[in-house]
Structure 1
Amino acid sequence: MLPPAHRLTDGASFREAVRTGRRSGTRTVVVHLATSPSGDGPPRVGFVVSKAVGNAVLRNRVKRRLRHLAREHVSSLPGSAVLVVRALPAAGSASAAELGADLARCLRRVQVQEVDA
């Protein structure tokens, strides 16, 4: 479980991260990483798991797995970063190991893009 300070809950932050952040995707997830110009506050993480992934039980399972996996990566995010992890339909049938590998790959890509920019 993510600590409350690291949870992304408001819709405006989700929209801004998706529209302005750097994006990377794999077969199971798409990651959007946006950095705040103000630079204050801890990094925050939000999840989008649509009905295309599966029924409510499956969506909640995917969300729990992604939350657990993202918790390991929060410390590597830049301060005041906003990370949105969007699960694709293939995430419903993926194992936790596959989700973890895809999430790590996407995070590496967006952080490298940020350094290059």
Structure 2
Amino acid sequence: MLARNLRLRHKKDYKTVFAQGKSFSNRYVVFYIMEGTSKYGFIASKKVGNAVQRNRAKRLMREVIRRNLSQLKPNLEIICIARANLKGVSYGEVENSCLNTLKKARVIN
């Protein structure tokens, strides 16, 4: 699990990243990235599915970030938003597409 001090937890933090951050997207996830403290937020709307599917989508995205935390540049605030296509996809596919998008965003060292 991603440590509590590494998570975006307040609505104002999310609003700031949405307003000032740049967006990068792929088939499964949309990323909003902004300079700031090293914090990460995860969102899955009802378009993704029922509560079980939304929670699974957030767990997949959290795990991708957690496993690759050492490769990510420090002092970035990143919000990961699950798309409806994420429903029923394996972890490997999600990880590959997320890492490719983060490389395009020049977030990975």
Task: Output the TM-score relative to the length of structure 1.
Answer: 0.83
Counterpart residue identity of residue 5, structure 1? N
Cα displacement string for residues 5-61 of structure 1 (whole angstroms, at most 9, x for unaligned residues):
11111111112112211211011101111002xxxx5x1110010000000011111
Q: Runs of at least 4 residues of structure 1 off by over 3 A?
A: none
Deviation at 1:110, TM superposition (A): 1.4
Partner AA of 1:30 in structure 2: V
Q: Which residue of 1 aligns with 2:91?
A: 96
Contact 1:35 1:78 in 2 (8 A): no
1:60 corresponding residue in structure 2: 55
* Per-residue deviation, 1:106: 1.5
Q: Secondary structure at the match of 1:47?
A: strand
| TM-score of the aligned structures, taking structure 2 as reference length | 0.89
Mapping 1:7-86, distance limit 5 Å: 7-36=7-36, 41=37, 43-86=38-81
SS of corresponding position for 1:111: coil
RMSD over aligned CA atoms reads 1.5
* Structure richer in helix, relative to its length: 1
For residue 32 of structure 1, give the secondary structure of its aligned residue in structure 2: strand
Identity %: 29
Q: Unaligned 5+ residue runs, structure 2?
A: none
Q: Matched residues in 2 for 1:17 and 1:99: separation?
A: 23
